[in-house]
Amino acid sequence: MPSGPPLPAWLTRVGVFDLETTGVDVSSDRVVTAYVGVLDAEGRQVAARSWLADPGIPIPEGATAVHGITTGHARSEGRPAPEVVAEITAALRSLFAQGVPVVAYNASYDFSLLACEAVRHGIEPLVTPSPVIDPLVIDKAYDRYRRGRRTLEVVAQHYAVPLEGAHEASADAIAAGRVAQALARQFRLPASPAELHTHQIGWARSQAASLTEYFVSIGRLDPDDALDGSWPVRSTDSLAD
């Protein structure tokens, strides 16, 4: 691969974040495992913390098939969800307070679900976390017409980033951070994480509108429906659960 732009200084120390959950509905599903870490300029883990929560509801078999955590294991080994959600939120808030950008793949899912969980447990949510780096949004913006799926596994492989143990929170978070650094080495990203964050708000909105149009055209969505393009936290209506 030809050499591209050098890694921006603000990507030489970057936070990474991922959740594994009971399902895909940000307003009603719950945190099962979580990881918050920090990578250096070489993508090496220099700080890390992982959590296992008892989500307080049964973990569906479909979710267990993805991340491997059963209801019984979560209940016997996991910590109370309110404690876990409070600690994850505090860890992320600390990184943002230090000016460290946080990478999350498909960030609007993880940050929205975490915010809903915080509200559920009486914890102050991260409603406007910033700066966030979402490799999914960035990849779609810079390589819009590339065919194929955009799952983390596929995109990591495209950018030659190893991903072992997919759907394990730490593996996914670290791979997403390394994909963000690979994107920065291939494409000329905005000059600051704050500027990139602002661009991603618009890109995510446009991408959701385009996907909505496509889903309507194939009958997957009703013409009166639309995908929520709010980023990095979906519309505050979802926090009312």
What whole-number distance in Å separates Cα of residue 79 and Cα of residue 73?
11
Q: At 203, is the pLDDT very low, low, confident or very high (cuts 50, 70, 90)?
A: very high
Q: At 238, is the pLDDT very low, low, confident or very high (cuts 50, 70, 90)?
A: very low
- Judge whether residue 239 has pLDDT over 70: no
CATH number, domain with residue 189: 3.30.420.10
Comparing 165 with 2, the larger pLDDT belongs to 165
Crossing angle of the two packed helices 135-142 and 193-217, in degrees rounded to 10: 70
Residues 6+ apart with CB under 8 A from 4: 185, 186, 187, 188
Task: Provide the domain count of the chain.
Answer: 1
Which of 2-11, 126-135, 209-218, 220-229 is the least confident region? 2-11
What's the pLDDT score for residue 3? 57
Three-class DSSP labels, 193-231: HHHHHHHHHHHHHHHHHHHHHHHHHCCCCCCCCCCCCCC
What's the pLDDT score for residue 164? 85
- Judge whether residue 2 has pLDDT over 60: no
* Residue 169: inside a domain: yes
Q: Which domain holds residue 182?
A: 11-223
- Judge whether residue 5 has pLDDT over 80: no
* Residue 168: inside a domain: yes
Residues 6+ apart with CB under 8 A from 89: 114, 118, 123, 124, 125, 126
Q: What is the pLDDT of residues 157-189, one digit of tens each?
A: 999 999 988 789 999 999 999 999 999 999 999
Omega of the bond prior to 131 within 30 degrees of 0, cis? Answer: yes
Give counts: helices (H), strands (E), the chain: 8, 6
**What does pLDDT average to over the chain?**
94
- Judge whether residue 69 has pLDDT over 90: yes
* Residue 231: inside a domain: no
Please classify residue 177 by burial: count the beta carbons closer than 10 Å to its beta carbon, then call 0-12 exposed, 13-18 middle and 19+ buried: buried
Which stretches within the chain are classed as H helix?
61-67, 71-77, 81-97, 107-120, 135-142, 152-158, 169-186, 193-217
* Residue 241: inside a domain: no
* Residue 5: inside a domain: no
- The encoded tokens of residue 23 equal 């399902």
* Residue 237: inside a domain: no
* Residue 238: inside a domain: no
What's the pLDDT score for residue 241? 39
What's the pLDDT score for residue 189? 94
Would the pTM count as exceeding 0.75?
yes
* Residue 156: inside a domain: yes
What's the pLDDT score for residue 224? 87
